[in-house]
Amino acid sequence: MPVHLLLSASLPPMLWGTTYWLTTEVLWTDRPLTTAVIRLLLPGLLLVAALRYWPRPAQWKPLLLISLPSMALTHACLFYAASRLAGPLAALLVSTQPLLVWGLAWLLFRQRTSRMISCGALLGFAGMVLVLVAPSRLQWDLPAATAALLASASMGTGTLLMKRWKLDIPALPYVGWQLALGGLMLLPLAVWLELPLPIPSNAALAGYGFLTLFGTLLPYLLWFRALPQLDPVQLSVYLLLSPLTAICLGHLLLAQTLTSLQLAGALVVFAGILLSQRPVASPSPIR
């Protein structure tokens, strides 16, 4: 795999893995919808205003249908989960996406995924299960865990729809419009449920600035660059790097340590990522 494609696929999940530490330590933990709106709307409007690209009339419907799961639902559920769960657990639950994409690709579009990529996704999922079922020092929250799984399913659905419809929109405007539309979808709900907002501290302002630029704009630009060139399941396996990043940050900065069995599971997750990247033939639909 070319180095530039490897970076485009691996750096975004690692940057997204910082979101969990930011959410619990810097951002407004009691304003998950507001945080999602800020994350989506600011970089989205920035790109839309800078590029001045307007989709064609026929592209609006699929663009809205893609933005709803991939941006609005994903981030609303993600920040709710991240505000109530320890970062490693939230990230691990969200990283069920490879297996969900694998299943949804067949259920929705009858798409076969290569055996090697399927084995990598299953191995990565098995490692994640090992982390979750092992005796843990981290506390669970059932509604938050459910929200994390919904975030995973929503993002996986959006990824499949993007691969399926392949809208003829340049990559940068495509990212900008998805972010902006996702933020606009959540804005009324955030205004209704979470106003008034507290006065942000300097740390919160810096945190939202980092989230906007390095946790959203840069990784999404890289992610959309890799999306057309990789099988959706193969690309989603890279998301397993997100919980590994969250685990490292939780251990280094928050003393959120995992047991030896959970660390072994994290290694199995990494092995699944490596296995899924073996050269394979392109996936083909079932006829």
Q: What separation in angstroms does the CA of 32 have from each of 15, 78, 93, 181, 266?
A: 19, 8, 18, 18, 27
- Fill in the amino acid letter for 113: T
More confident residue, 57 or 8: 57
For residue 22 the two structure tokens come to 């930011």
Domain boundaries, the chain: 3-276
> pLDDT value at position 85?
73
More confident residue, 101 or 47: 47
Residue 220 and residue 100: Cα distance in Å, rounded?
20
Q: Is 72 left (phi over 0), alpha (psi -120 to 50) or beta?
A: alpha
pLDDT score of 74 more than 80? yes
How far, in Å, are 20, 73, 86, 165 from residue 25 at the CA level? 9, 23, 11, 39
pLDDT of residue 112: 61
SS3 content of the chain, % helix, strand, coil (to 5): 80, 0, 20
Residues 6+ apart with CB under 8 A from 101: 121, 156, 159, 160, 232, 233, 236
pLDDT tens-place string over residues 135-144: 555 566 778 8
- As a whole number of Å, the end-to-end CA separation of the chain is 29
Give the tens place of pLDDT for each residue, 27-70: 887 888 999 999 999 999 999 999 899 999 988 999 999 999 88
Alpha carbon of 245 to those of 69, 83, 143, 170, 195: distances in Å? Answer: 24, 17, 23, 30, 32
pLDDT at 286: 38
Residue linked to tokens 């709106």: 37
Q: 40 with 67: CB under 8 angstroms?
A: no
CB 286 within 8 A of CB 160: no
Residue-level pLDDT at 113: 60
Return the residue matching tokens 């660390």.
263
- Report the distance separating Cα 48 and Cα 46, nearest Å: 6
- The pTM assigned to this predicted structure is 0.75
